[in-house]
C-alpha cells in the first residue's frame, strides 16, 4: 500500500480551520475553491469535481470535532482505487497557527504518484483559502 502524507502551517487558528474543514459539502466554496469546481452532497457521500475534470465520489468515514479531523474514502467516480482512505486534520501549534495534515492510503500503488501531485497542488490552494478566510473580519 502507498501512503501520501502532506503537512503545512496555516496562519489561522485551529477553530477557523476546523470551521472550513468540517463543511464536508462545501469543498469547492470554502476549502479548495478553483482546485475543486463543484461539490454535491447526498447524505454522507459527496461528489467532487476537480478543475482538471476528475470526478470522485467520497463517503464520509468520520467527522471528529474533538480532534478536528475529517476522514473519507473514495467509493466511485473516475478514480478507481481498490483501497482509498484519507483524512485531514487541523492541529494546534504553540503560536496560535494550525498544522494542516492531509494523509491518504491508496491501492494500487500506481495511484500514489498522481494523488501526491494532486495533494501538492491542492495543499497550496487550501492554505491560501484558509489564510484568506482567517484574515476576513467577523461580521
- What grid cell was written down for 105? 492510503
Which pLDDT score is estimated for 16?
96
Instruction: Judge contact between 46 and 25, C-beta under 8 A.
Output: yes
* Reported confidence tier of residue 135, pLDDT bands at 50, 70, 90: low
Average pLDDT estimate for 30-50: 97
* 24-28, 111-115, 132-136: range with lowest mean pLDDT: 132-136
Single out the residue of 126, 123, 119, 125 nearest to residue 4, CA to CA.
119
Cβ-in-10-Å burial (0-12, 13-18, 19+) of 18 comes to buried
Amino acid at each position: 500500500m502507498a501512503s501520501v502524507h502532506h503537512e503545512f502551517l496555516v496562519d489561522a487558528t485551529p477553530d477557523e480551520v476546523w470551521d472550513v474543514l468540517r463543511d464536508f459539502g462545501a469543498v469547492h466554496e470554502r476549502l479548495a475553491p478553483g482546485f475543486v469546481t463543484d461539490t454535491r452532497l447526498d447524505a454522507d457521500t459527496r461528489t467532487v469535481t476537480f478543475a482538471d475534470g476528475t470526478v470522485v465520489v467520497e463517503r464520509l468515514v468520520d467527522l471528529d470535532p474533538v480532534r478536528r479531523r475529517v476522514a473519507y474514502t473514495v467509493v466511485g467516480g473516475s478514480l478507481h482505487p481498490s483501497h482509498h482512505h484519507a483524512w485531514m486534520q487541523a492541529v494546534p501549534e504553540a503560536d496560535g497557527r494550525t498544522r494542516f495534515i492531509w494523509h491518504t492510503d491508496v491501492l494500487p500503488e500506481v495511484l500514489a504518484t498522481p494523488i501526491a501531485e494532486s495533494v501538492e497542488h491542492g495543499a497550496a490552494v487550501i492554505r491560501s483559502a484558509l489564510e484568506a478566510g482567517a484574515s476576513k473580519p467577523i461580521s
